Amino acid sequence: MLQTKGAYARAGVDIEAALKAKELIKHRAISTFRPEVLADIGFFASLFELKGYKEPVLVASVDGVGTKLKIASLLGKYDTVGIDLVHHCVNDILTCGAEPLFFLDYIAMDKLVPEQVENIAAGIVIACKDAGCALVGGETAEMPRIYARGEYDLVGFIVGIVEKKNIINGSTISKGDVILALPSSGLHTNGYSLVRKIFHIDKRPSSLKTFYPELGRTLGEELLEPHRCYSRLLKPVLPLVKGLAHITGGGLKDNLPRILPPGLAAQVHKGSWHISPIFHLIEEKGNVAEDEMYRVFNMGVGMAIVCSPQNVADFPTILTEAKVIGEVVETKGKERVMIN
């Protein structure tokens, strides 16, 4: 039987493209290494040595960027979603008081384009450096006919560490504690399926080029604003914190209850923080009910902080952006978050 080369490539998988993509990522990833990293990129597994902890507790999380990837694809801009991926994961483990140690990514697409993968990785590297987190490995997969032409997915895995005695889990939160907010940089990574429908983005990609005076930029530029990271900002005040809620999908309504002990609820006061113009624009253009806005979007709050009343005065001196937005009260009925 006559054998021919390139059968795998004709089936839709280009090994050479995969090797090129991995080589492009490797050089960027090495620049994020911490002293604890013991294995080079390319080995079958990653090695990370724990040092300097008495009772170390590992904290892990995994997440993606969601349909914000659609916006990035339509605009041909891929670095910001890499930043989104890392920042989302770092914020999630931060809610336990954890310091990020290392990160791994998973990039899958219908057809590998090394330069596109490199752009995504460039964003991941920028964010890892910012958070002091080592990019120790990952997986790049070419999966024809699993993903539609031009489509891809992006997933991140993070591991952090915290001393057992310093774990933040909300268990000490009590009635009368104060809720503060740190502002988001926009939608972060949630609510994009609704936004795409409201602005007819899938049918009219040109709508992303529309300039809105209230935003001061185009819709596309606003929607690709990277997810903000709060790790370095909050690190100095973590000893004062009783609970942290990363406001992602579900908004304040669904995320605040995740850190509240049974019998307690959050009373949040409207008008106590700045709501970015993008949220008003979405509500108006989509005729979205206010209650749903607060359940789908972060509404300008990226991270909610719960602390004792006596510690509130210490926050504005360190976190100039921190705003008091409410307090912890006793539960009345089934509702755990009241916004009025």
Give the pLDDT confidence of 222-231 residue by residue, as tens digits.
999 999 999 9
Q: Which domains does the chain have, with CATH numbers?
A: 11-166 (3.30.1330.10), 178-339 (3.90.650.10)
Average pLDDT, the chain: 91
When pLDDT is averaged across residues 17-27 and rounded to a whole number, the result is 64
pLDDT at residue 67 tops 50 = yes
pLDDT at residue 3 tops 60 = no
> Residues near 186 by Cβ (< 8 Å), separated by ≥ 6?
222, 223, 225, 276, 278
When pLDDT is averaged across residues 141-147 and rounded to a whole number, the result is 87
Q: Tell me the Cα Rg of the chain.
A: 22
Give the closest residue to 302 by CA, choosing from 180, 155, 157. Answer: 180
Residue type, 207: S
Residues forming beta bridges with residue 58, ordered by sequence position? 161
23-37, 234-248, 250-264: least confidently modelled range = 23-37
Contact predicate 57/161, CB 8 Å: yes
Q: Supply the pLDDT for residue 320.
A: 87
> Residues near 163 by Cβ (< 8 Å), separated by ≥ 6?
53, 54, 55, 56, 57
d(CA 274, CA 217): 19
d(CA 170, CA 299): 23
Q: How confident is the model at residue 38 (pLDDT cuts 50, 70, 90)?
A: confident
188-200 CB burial, b ≥16 within 10 A, e <16: bbbbbebbbebbe
At 59 the three-state DSSP class reads: strand
Q: Supply the pLDDT for residue 17.
A: 60
Contact predicate 227/185, CB 8 Å: yes
> Residues near 78 by Cβ (< 8 Å), separated by ≥ 6?
72, 116, 119, 120, 123
Query: Which residue has tokens 């709060």?
Result: 230
Q: What pLDDT digit, counting tens, does each position of 182-224 carry?
A: 999 999 999 999 999 999 999 999 999 999 999 999 999 999 9
How would you classify residue 96: left for phi > 0, otherwise alpha for psi between -120 and 50, otherwise beta? alpha
pLDDT at residue 267 tops 70 = yes
Tokens of 73: 């694809």
When pLDDT is averaged across residues 85-114 and rounded to a whole number, the result is 95
Crossing angle of helices 114-131 and 79-94, rounded to 10°: 30
19-28, 77-86, 233-242: least confidently modelled range = 19-28
> Residues near 176 by Cβ (< 8 Å), separated by ≥ 6?
309, 327, 328
